[in-house]
Amino acid sequence: MSEKVRFGVIGCGVAAWMGHLPWIWSHPGAELVAVCDTDMARARGAQERYNARIATTDHHELLAREDIDAVCICTPPGSHAPLTIEAFEHDKHVLLEKPMGRSLDECRTMIAAAQRSGKFLMMGHEKRFNLAFERVRQIIAQGTIGEVFYLVVHWGASVKLAPERMIPAGYRENYEWRWKDPNVGGGILQDHLPHYVDLWRWWVGAEVESVYAEVQNITRDYLNRPDIGLWEDFGTVMMRFGNGAVGVFNTGTVGRGLSPILHIGSQVGEWSEFGYVFGTRGQITFDMPPWDSPENGRIMVWSLDDDAGRGWYQVEMPDPRRSPGGPLSPATNENYMFYRQIDHFVRAIQSGTPPGVSGDDGVATLAVVDAVYESQRGGQRVNVQGPSP
């Protein structure tokens, strides 16, 4: 392998523009060799913006190239398994967007392909590389709030209430394929839930054992918009972890709260993402900017073990960069979670050390998503199939 990790990117939609292309392009240990998309105009746009040598609509051509060491797969979930397996057959390392696949069997087939090839499969659970969330984990590990017994998050937008007015510039195609494509396999829960299942497993050091879910399709059933209401757009999931902790996950595209620290939630197309962690000796609240913002989240802590009478206090974080972003011009920031994710992947390949987010983590998150949809169908609590076969 050359001194730099040589990359190909398959899929040049918003996920690639926000999470992969800029950070490969700007990383001193990486080189962008080729980009691929079913739309040549989109592939050419990525090639020109990020100086890739090759643009193609043929993923077979990209994967067969000997001058590529690793690929980022940023395509819809239905294509993840065949693309990933073919990548390993060509001895490429893979950074795969979530959800890992459409079924646990698909995911396990991908893991087996990685094992046969001896190459790395890393899941794109970028929240682990968010500085604020990393700091929350450190606070929990230090015992500042005691033993964690409850976690809750609200992560919502109101964009589907009036999509013609509220989809922000540059995001329409990214939103609408998820709303309309029958091959996606699920809606907002399939899209968002893996992030927090992975994050909370990481924070509490335990697997989800059971779930109960209430799932709604507001667009179809209340707003009479079946054209964009193929999949669910609002849901609340209660999870019980193996250590007894309970997590409550709420997400949707038809309603958002006003965030408690940053007071985000008033702008067109904007997301609110905030939550709490309760422990036996204190609490944490976190408040996050939208995913395309390079700013750091904010954390506040209250602990019985801090100075008497201190009350809630804000945790110091590095100064954020308040630069304009967006899908076509994300602001370069070495602290941004997507840059840190690419950096982790590059260093793993260069050092031969397995990445910290594996295919097993992808299986564990998808097992919870599957259980959520089973709970929806049966209207009851469902035990989660473990990450191992």
Give the number of other CB atoms < 10 A from CB of residue 120: 21
Q: Quote the strand ranges of 304-385, DSSP E.
A: 313-314, 382-383
Amino acid 3: pLDDT: 87
Question: What single letter denotes the amino acid at residue 65?
Answer: R
Whole-number Å distance between alpha carbons of 194 and 215 = 16
Q: pLDDT, tens digit, for every residue of 307-351?
A: 656 789 999 988 765 554 555 555 556 788 999 999 999 999 999
Question: What single letter denotes the amino acid at residue 69?
Answer: D
The answer to whether 253 touches 233, Cβ cutoff 8 Å, is yes
Whole-number Å distance between alpha carbons of 196 and 62 = 32
Token pair for 104: 């646990």
Token pair for 371: 């259980």
**The domain 127-331+359-383 is classified under which CATH number: 3.30.1310.10, 3.30.420.40, 3.30.360.10, 3.90.220.20?**
3.30.360.10
Amino acid 268: pLDDT: 63
CA separation, residue 182 to residues 106, 162, 186, 226, 290 (Å) = 18, 22, 9, 13, 27
Whole-number Å distance between alpha carbons of 194 and 122 = 14
Amino acid 389: pLDDT: 44
Query: Measured between alpha carbons, how far apart are the two ends of the chain, in Å?
Result: 34
> 290 exposed, middle or buried (CB, 10 Å; 0-12, 13-18, 19+)?
middle
Token pair for 66: 């000997």
The answer to whether 276 touches 152, Cβ cutoff 8 Å, is yes
The answer to whether 284 touches 145, Cβ cutoff 8 Å, is yes
Quick check: do 5-119 and 127-331+359-383 share a fold? Answer: no
Amino acid 385: pLDDT: 82
5-119 maps to CATH 1.10.260.40: no
3-state secondary structure of 19: helix
Amino acid 322: pLDDT: 52
| Segments of the chain with pLDDT less than 50 | 324, 389
DSSP single-letter state for residue 118? T
3-state secondary structure of 145: coil
Token pair for 271: 């997301």
Token pair for 19: 């999470």
- How remote is the C-alpha of 383 from its chain's centroid? 24
The angle subtended at Cα 27 by Cα 23 and Cα 31, nearest 5°, is: 95
- Residues paired with 279 in a beta bridge: 148, 282
Amino acid 292: pLDDT: 78
Report CA dihedral (126, 127, 132, 134) to the nearest 10 degrees: -90
CA separation, residue 72 to residues 38, 92, 261, 348, 385 (Å) = 15, 10, 34, 14, 28
Whole-number Å distance between alpha carbons of 227 and 229 = 6
Question: What single letter denotes the amino acid at residue 303?
Answer: S
- Residues paired with 272 in a beta bridge: 156
Q: Domain residue spans in the chain?
A: 5-119, 127-331+359-383
Place of tokens 């309309």: 180
